Copies of this chain bind each other. A is one copy, B any other.
Amino acid sequence: MKGKATSFDIAHYAGVSQSTVSRALRNSPLVNEETRKRVFEVAKQLNYKVDKNASNLRTQQSSTLALLLFEDPTADESQINPFFLAMLGSITRACATQGYDLLVSFQSTSADWQADYEDSHRADGIILLGYGDYVDYQAKFSSLIEQNTKFVCWGASVDNRPDLTVSCDNYGGGKLAAAHLLRANRKDCAFIGDASEHSPEFFARYQGFKDEFNQHGINLSERKMANAISTEESGYHATRSLIANNIHFNSLFAASDLIAIGAIRALKEAGIKVPDDVHVVGFDNIAVASFTNPPLTTVQQDTTLAGQMLVNNLLKLIRGETVENTLLPPSLIIRGSSV
């Protein structure tokens, strides 16, 4: 057999027309059961596979979703944020169970990223994933919507945000963390992260955290906050700067696990003991969290469910159904860094 078999080849060997082959293979009720059997047999024998390009071209859809991963352009690409990798895993599986393929693409946060997967008919819809500065993206999102591109985002849903989102209840997660520290009477708390509108997730985590403290009559001191992006390195430096400025605290809430891990490193270096001197709580429950020393107490995001919701919501959107922003409940994982 030269080249790949086409439906015409099957038709020839099965003694039917090409139309019938197409119908038979797609289990159309219009085709006789015996004919179908014969067609399937020949198809199997010739190792025939439907040409996706021809099929997609005709039906105008691709059974494929695209996943765009946004990463700060870090020097070391092997250090991809483990939280997103976990999400990638669950999204891939969710796609598979729905019979969709998944195109994966890393995009640089800064650059003018490409979302032409749908325009070019490579994908029926797009999933956007990454801690990004959504302020910068507003315009892009609006233009995508204007072009009627189907897409969903992972991330905090903020007011006036034009896109459809699936996110963890970051506010509630922050409250969980605060309540936990308050139970241990660790009221003198530092926060490492970014509580500005540029990081809506971190912002919501901090708000929930602060509100819980307020409800217990405690005001968090602004002096005990330090800015950090979601890397170990950044968490380390932010914590060091607090220590260097002689700021005291007996607990610490980090906006992400990576930050928390960096913070613990800085604390250890300064001779401050975790959890004896400072209780530490992170956010995400990445795989590393249980291997740190001490193991990290953290707020878990259900990545499996998140992946499913992203895929399901996107598919609904593609089918033209109405979809709401989705909020997933977090849960507290208590480990050695806070007991």
Interface residues in A65-103 (C-beta closer than 8 Å to B)? 77-80, 82, 85-86, 88-90, 92-93, 96, 101-103
Number of interface residues of A (CB under 8 A): 45
A96-B106, A101-B103 given; A79·B287 CB < 8 A: yes
Closest to A147 in B: B47
A29 to B90, CA, bound (A): 46
Known A121-B52, A287-B288; judge A77-B89 contact (CB<8 A): yes
Q: Mark A28-57, 1 if CB is under 8 A from B, else 0.
A: 000000000000000000010111111011
Q: How far is the CB of A299 from chain B (nearest CB, A)?
A: 15
A106 nearest CB neighbor, chain B only: B92
By a CB distance below 8 angstroms, the chain B residues around A303 are 78
Which residues of the partner chain B approach A153 to less than 8 Å between Cβ atoms? none
Q: How many copies does the complex hold?
A: 2
Q: Which residues of B contact A109 (CB under 8 A)?
A: none
Q: Is the interface of A mostly helix, strand, loop or mixed?
A: mixed
Q: How far is A105 from B104 in the complex, measured between Cα atoms in Å?
A: 10
Complex Cα gap A147–B3 (Å): 10
A4 at interface, CB cutoff 8 A: yes
Compute how far the CA of A122 lies from the CA of B62 in the bound complex, rounded to whole angstroms.
10
- The listed residue (B78, B104, B120) touching A104 by CB distance below 8 A is B104
Closest approach, in angstroms, between the C-beta of A222 and any C-beta of chain B? 30
Known: A92-B104, A104-B102. A53 touches B57 (CB 8 A): yes
Could you jot down 9 A-B contacts, CB within 8 Å? A47-B147, A49-B119, A49-B120, A51-B57, A51-B121, A78-B303, A88-B88, A89-B106, A104-B104
The interface of chain A, by Cβ under 8 A from chain B, is 4, 47, 49-54, 56-57, 62, 64, 77-80, 82, 85-86, 88-90, 92-93, 96, 101-106, 116, 119-122, 147, 261, 287-288, 291-293, 303-304
**Besides A49-B120, A53-B54, A292-B293, 10 other CB < 8 A contacts?**
A51-B57, A54-B57, A77-B89, A80-B85, A80-B89, A96-B106, A101-B122, A102-B104, A288-B288, A293-B293
